[in-house]
Structure 1
Amino acid sequence: MASGLVLFFYISAHLINHALGLVSLDAAEAGMSIAVEVWYSVPGTILLYGAATVHFLMALLAIYERRTFRLPPLEIIRIALGFTMPILLIGHAAGTRLAYDMYGLSSDYTRVVGVLWASGQQGWQLGLMAPGWIHGCLGLNFAFGRRQWFRQLRPVLFAIALLLPVFSGLGFIAMGRELAGTPRSAAAQEYLSPANTEQRLAIAQWKDNLLNWYFSIIFAAFMAREIRNLIERRAKGLVQVTYPGQTVSIPRGWSVLEASRSFHLPHASMCGGRARCSTCRIRVTAGQEHCPPPAKDEQDTLTRINAPAEVRLACQLRPQGNVSVIPIVRTARPVYRATAPRRSGEHDVVVLYCDFRNRADFASDHLPQDLLHILTVYVDGLSQAIRAAGGALSYVESDSVCALFGLDGAGEVCAQRALDAVGAVEGVIADLNNRLGRRESDRLKISVVVHSGHAAIGEIGSSEPPMVLAIGEAVDVANEMRKLAAERDRAFAISEQVYQAAGLIPVHDDEAVLHRPEGITTVFLSDAAPIASPAWTLHGKVNRAALLRRLWAGG
């Protein structure tokens, strides 16, 4: 990061200096004299060339460690521009810094710009900084794109990224026009004269040698990568990575993110796999003994987001054995629904709604990515609780989750299953609120509504699994119960029909009666679930020993 920032600062200063040519050649020369004092000094030389060397070596290491080049387009462009930039810069450095060190030739604009225009190489100069500038801008976006200050400054930064190269090119053209036909262009003519042929050939030879070394090093890095991949495939065997609904086999040594990309599985990664953004995080559900401990960069990011022990960064985790993982941040194809039985028709079902009542308050008090993380954890926890009780998710929205029980035809037990799910949801929300903080404003407020009745069930959409919808009396009454729970500020609203079907005595702090054409529905409202499930957490049901440890630790 530090080496990249040094190089980006150098390129930015160079472009600003070129843009001064719009004022005058003398103004650009004044800026260049300051730049020469800084970068040609011993500390400046060590800083600049040290940063360039470190950045180049880190790029080679990243290429060597990368198991696949199936990357997002912007990431491919950034890498390609990063390796293209030195090809142009080597020639420019040979004509300026090497010429200064070997022959004492000045690096002022009068000579350099004059030579470029006189030799017809002005086009190269205009395109010289473009690869480095775009590479740097993309790198900054990958590194800081999720920071609040960066998002706030994005319009200004975009304007600078767009206009500074334009002004730089116009400044270079203006300096060339100002030099044309003036006595100041004599330095360029003298350098291009036959008397200096030996100097030009020597500088050109240095440039060619540097380019040959550069291409040889790049070729060696790619060859070392291919040899390493071949050894991994033949000697180390394959590792199975199991995702929800799919299992893939990869050579040992690949990261989970590389596995996702290699098999075209959607996986979020905003920073490009540098352990900075945490969007690629996964939950390891099996095979944790095959996962090496987090390195410093990964551990710092996991600590920053207060991740539990089973959460890792996919870009850093290289499993040594078979593992099962669940991507936490959804992308491209969110898989929130369990596969529902393919059946349509009309029959009795139990409808469960879980409404996130203070989502608007969370949206105003939290950053968007923080709210996204909370919603992801919230939906994952509810999904596990509902599926474990035998329910199927109908739909998921930012402030509401709908589930259906009884799609498998087990009507006599679906009410009991729904109430079991209600207790599990209570445990999930309690665990989430405990993790979010002790302040009231940091706690989720939900309303869980459960009603049993007749409905038409159908599958819509061509996705797999398809969306399952219920339409009819059961859903209409449940929607009225949702309004009632919100008005009376109650966490649970369960109809009398559900309690009767489950064979339980109603648990309530309040009750209400809904009058509808189909009949009367008594609704029991409370702030506690009828069947408590303290063993349920965000990550599923914990055993008694683990629960006692959590209670002893104050969790």
Structure 2
Amino acid sequence: MKRTEAQRSALMMRMARILSGLFLLAFVTSHLLNLSLGVISIEAMDNARPVLTGIWSNPVVGPILLLALIVHFILGLWSIYRRPTLQTNLQDSVQIVTGLLVIPLMATHVVGAASLGINGVNFNYAVATKFFWLDQPQIGLLQVILLSIVWIHGCAGLFTWLRSREDMRSILGWLYPVAVAVPVMALMGYAEAGRGVLIDAQEARTSAPSYSENAPQTATRTPPIIPYKVVKEVTNQIIWWSLGLAALTLAAREVRVRLHPFEHVQLKRGDCAPIATTSKLTVFDSFRIGNQPHAGLCEGRGRCGTCAVRILASEFPLPQPTALEIKTLSRIGADEDTRLACQLTPSGGSVEVEPLYPADYSFKDKDITETAQPGTQPELQT
């Protein structure tokens, strides 16, 4: 089936969001790994800096990183605008909220790093640790919060994406402990490096010699000139503009949902009580809001195919599947009367469906099933 221009655009936007997200997650991971070396020494952090974090500030990668940040933020806002409902599970809610906060929190780091580069300031970990622990501890705390939020957002998206891919499910058991260990090690490294700085500062204060007025003075190094005022003004503007865009997106989504015409839908499956819903919601969202558990390893993103349902009856004609739905249905070898619950929005009337997978289905279940009876599909849930 030939894809339309809109379908191709949707697939390209989805791929751009995934790739930009992976690029940003690599950026955060390298910073966290560099911070974790603080448990050894600040010198170890600086020795690893050219490999782990220095690569992000070169003239080629730096602009790509900035572009990835903007693209991921804008596409995230677009996905929120297109959502039929904001009622979802805890993981999805956390990913939405943290996604809205990524740019406001990263503004301080991005603008500060760019300003230092423009002014030729060598801001290595030895200088940065003293700055964050002695001069501007509130900015240091903000950096820790930033990395934590971006890490949570990135891991939530990564796990949702990998969980929907059968060829990746075997590595999830290894990634879960890594997702916890990396930020914990980074915080330990940051705290240990800061502790050393505080001890050195205390010893310098207590052992500082007193000089008479006529005593010869040793030469002191001129501290780097950092344009705090400019950094603060630019950072504040980025924060307010990004928060404003987020608020405008939420308001526009609310207007779109309220003004969009809809029909009443009665959704039924098996022996469960019928659900009164509307043509604004997908079958998957209707089940979720109606407190009827339904399989969906990718959380309704149309990637895994585990939310598939067989259409038993529909009072009104159903809308045509999207390119993403066609691709996923083809991959799982679905019949013509099968649709993805997360992509299907009934036009109205009464719709009766039968799930192809149990509500608690995981890809491990498929391994067990295929081991017992090769080539068979999971048992249908009734």
Q: TM-score range by the shorter chain?
A: 0.7 to 0.9
Aligned to 1:3: 20
Task: Map residues 306-455 of structure 1 onto 2, 5 A cutoff.
Answer: 306-322=333-349, 323-331=351-359, 362=369, 364=371, 373-376=377-380
1:93 Cα deviation after fit: 2.1
Aligned to 2:6: none
Aligned to 2:256: 228
Q: Considering only aligned residues, what root-mean-square deviation do their CA atoms show, in Å?
A: 3.2
Q: Structure 2: which 5+ runs fail to align?
A: 1-17, 205-219, 361-365
Kept in 2: contact 1:97–1:107 (CA 8 A): no
Aligned to 1:421: none
Aligned to 2:299: 272
Aligned to 2:72: 55
Query: Cα 1:110–1:224, aligned 2, differ >3 Å: closer, same or farther?
Result: same
Task: Map residues 206-245 of structure 1 onto 2, 5 A cutoff.
Answer: 206-232=234-260, 236-244=261-269, 245=272
Kept in 2: contact 1:241–1:325 (CA 8 A): no
TM-score (norm 1): 0.55
- Between the aligned partners of 1:44 and 1:321, the Cα distance in structure 2 is 50
Kept in 1: contact 2:164–2:303 (CA 8 A): no
Secondary structure of the residue aligned to 2:309 is: strand
Q: 2:83 aligns with which of 66, 84, 87?
A: 66
Q: 1:166 aligns with which of 164, 184, 206?
A: 184
Aligned to 2:223: 190
CA offsets 1:201-232 (integer angstroms, 9 cap, x no match): 11111111111001100011001001101101
1:188 Cα deviation after fit: 12
- Between the aligned partners of 1:165 and 1:31, the Cα distance in structure 2 is 17
1:150 Cα deviation after fit: 4.2
Paired residues, what number? Answer: 339
1:125 Cα deviation after fit: 3.1
CA offsets 1:313-350 (integer angstroms, 9 cap, x no match): 11111233333333332327xxxxxxxxxxxxxxxxxx
CA offsets 1:83-114 (integer angstroms, 9 cap, x no match): 2333322222222233323x333342233222
Secondary structure of the residue aligned to 1:190 is: coil
CA offsets 1:499-527 (integer angstroms, 9 cap, x no match): xxxxxxxxxxxxxxxxxxxxxxxxxxxxx
Aligned to 1:116: 132
Amino acid at match of 1:158: Y
Kept in 1: contact 2:311–2:352 (CA 8 A): yes
Kept in 1: contact 2:159–2:172 (CA 8 A): no
Structure 1 position 262 matched with structure 2 position 289: yes
Query: Cα 1:88–1:314, aligned 2, differ >3 Å: closer, same or farther?
Result: same
Amino acid at match of 1:133: W
Kept in 1: contact 2:73–2:103 (CA 8 A): no
- Between the aligned partners of 1:316 and 1:288, the Cα distance in structure 2 is 18
Query: Cα 1:267–1:252, aligned 2, differ >3 Å: closer, same or farther?
Result: same
Structure 1 position 252 matched with structure 2 position 279: yes
Aligned to 1:131: 149
Kept in 2: contact 1:96–1:112 (CA 8 A): no
CA offsets 1:285-331 (integer angstroms, 9 cap, x no match): 23386322222221111011100111111111123333333333232
Secondary structure of the residue aligned to 1:285 is: strand
- Between the aligned partners of 2:249 and 2:74, the Cα distance in structure 1 is 10
Aligned to 2:213: none
Query: Cα 1:43–1:284, aligned 2, differ >3 Å: closer, same or farther?
Result: farther
CA offsets 1:36-87 (integer angstroms, 9 cap, x no match): 6522234312331222122112211221111222212222122222223333
User: Whose helix fraction is larger, Structure 1's or Structure 2's?
Assistant: 2
Structure 1 position 144 matched with structure 2 position 162: yes
Query: Cα 1:188–1:216, aligned 2, differ >3 Å: closer, same or farther?
Result: farther
- Between the aligned partners of 2:322 and 2:103, the Cα distance in structure 1 is 31
- Between the aligned partners of 2:172 and 2:367, the Cα distance in structure 1 is 25
Kept in 2: contact 1:15–1:164 (CA 8 A): yes
Kept in 1: contact 2:165–2:304 (CA 8 A): no
Further displaced range: 285-294 or 70-79? 285-294
Kept in 1: contact 2:69–2:103 (CA 8 A): no
Q: Structure 1: which 5+ runs fail to align?
A: 333-358, 381-555
Amino acid at match of 1:214: S
CA offsets 1:419-441 (integer angstroms, 9 cap, x no match): xxxxxxxxxxxxxxxxxxxxxxx
Aligned to 1:300: 327
Kept in 1: contact 2:315–2:348 (CA 8 A): no
Query: Cα 1:326–1:98, aligned 2, differ >3 Å: closer, same or farther?
Result: farther
Secondary structure of the residue aligned to 1:325 is: strand
Secondary structure of the residue aligned to 2:379 is: helix
Kept in 2: contact 1:90–1:207 (CA 8 A): yes
Query: Cα 1:308–1:165, aligned 2, differ >3 Å: closer, same or farther?
Result: same
- Between the aligned partners of 1:259 and 1:188, the Cα distance in structure 2 is 66
Amino acid at match of 1:157: L
Task: Map residues 87-102 of structure 1 onto 2, 5 A cutoff.
Answer: 87-101=104-118
Amino acid at match of 2:86: F
- Calculate percent identity across the aligned residue pairs: 26
Kept in 2: contact 1:280–1:327 (CA 8 A): yes
Amino acid at match of 1:176: G
TM-score (norm 2): 0.78
Structure 1 position 80 matched with structure 2 position 87: no
- Between the aligned partners of 1:243 and 1:12, the Cα distance in structure 2 is 45
Q: Which has the larger radius of gyration?
A: 1
Amino acid at match of 2:335: P
- Between the aligned partners of 2:88 and 2:312, the Cα distance in structure 1 is 26
Secondary structure of the residue aligned to 1:374 is: coil
Further displaced range: 74-83 or 175-184? 175-184
